[in-house]
Amino acid sequence: MDKIEGRNPVIEALKGKRKIEKILIQEGIKGGKIEEIINAAKKKGIRIERVPRTKLDQIASSHSHQGIIAYAEEKELVSPMDIVNYAREKGEPPFIVILDQIQDPQNFGAIIRTAYAAGAHGVIYQDKRAAGITPVVVKSSAGAIEHIKLSEVKNINHTIEELKEAGLWIAGADMEGDMLYYEVDLKGPIGLVIGSEGKGLRRLVRENCDFLVKIPMPGEFSSLNASVAAAILIYEVLRQRQ
């Protein structure tokens, strides 16, 4: 079972496809979103339990449950080619965000949120040395995780090769990149690779990319937060496609 913590994530879960086992709501808590959750849960026949805040505090992983926690079946994961085929069924060039060992769950969730908002078809991440689908990731995604396709893979480099064979160009985000991100044509089938916090792309992943793009940094900082850099590049893909 997955824990879904917070009002917006639970609302989005109720809109999604996952089966929800039960919802715990803090005793005495009210409000428009709480009533929305209760009404939606009743329509679906989902059990609701009123519990003390202390119990929610003990259960919560995100430290930001907002008086509500839902228990749901695990998020269904897909293969990288499932994401490619999903895009093609929609008649769109595939746009996939690939995460190379993003370890901070808040960054992971924020990137999922941005990817979904900007119309990316899916997010791929590695199963080891990276943040998995935790309650903090779900909360940080603000519920976007319920609506975007996710693929967990064992080897990012093998996945990149598979995507290349499927016709995607692979762009890596790297401060040593040869081109500024807005000078590159990103309108076609694209896989956008974002490196880990602090370390960036691993050497083999960097070498496996078709090209590397950089974000100009005229200030004194040498790098951006991973989710901020991802947001800039993801929305550049959207801007070019529009």
**Range of 113's domain?**
80-241
User: What region does 149 belong to: left with phi over 0, alpha with psi -120 to 50, or beta?
Assistant: beta
Kindly state whether residues 52 and 144 are assigned to the same domain. no
pLDDT tens-digit profile of 130-172?
677 888 899 899 889 999 999 999 999 999 999 999 999 999 9
Residue 76: other Cβ atoms inside 10 A: 10
- CATH no. for residue 129? 3.40.1280.10
Q: In what order do the strands lie in the sheet with 95-99?
A: 149-153, 122-126, 95-99, 190-194, 169-173, 211-214, 179-180
**What is the per-residue pLDDT for 225?**
80
Model pTM?
0.90
**What is the per-residue pLDDT for 46?**
96
**What's at 185, amino acid-wise?**
D
Highest mean pLDDT among 63-67, 83-87, 105-109: 83-87
- CATH no. for residue 11? 3.30.1330.30
Kindly state whether residues 40 and 117 are assigned to the same domain. no
DSSP SS3 for 121: coil
Kindly state whether residues 50 and 129 are assigned to the same domain. no
pLDDT tens-digit profile of 158-212?
999 999 999 999 999 998 888 999 999 999 999 999 998 778 899 999 999 999 9
Element of type H or E holding 237: helix 226-241
Kindly state whether residues 193 and 154 are assigned to the same domain. yes
Residue 215 contacts residue 181 (beta carbons within 8 Å): yes
Query: What stretches of 7-137 adopt beta strand conformation (E)?
Result: 20-26, 47-51, 68-72, 95-99, 122-126
Report percent pLDDT > 90 for the chain. 75
Of the candidates 114, 121, 139, 151, the one whose C-alpha atom is nearest the C-alpha of residue 226 is 114
pLDDT at 226 over 90: no
pLDDT at 10 over 60: yes
pLDDT at 222 over 70: no
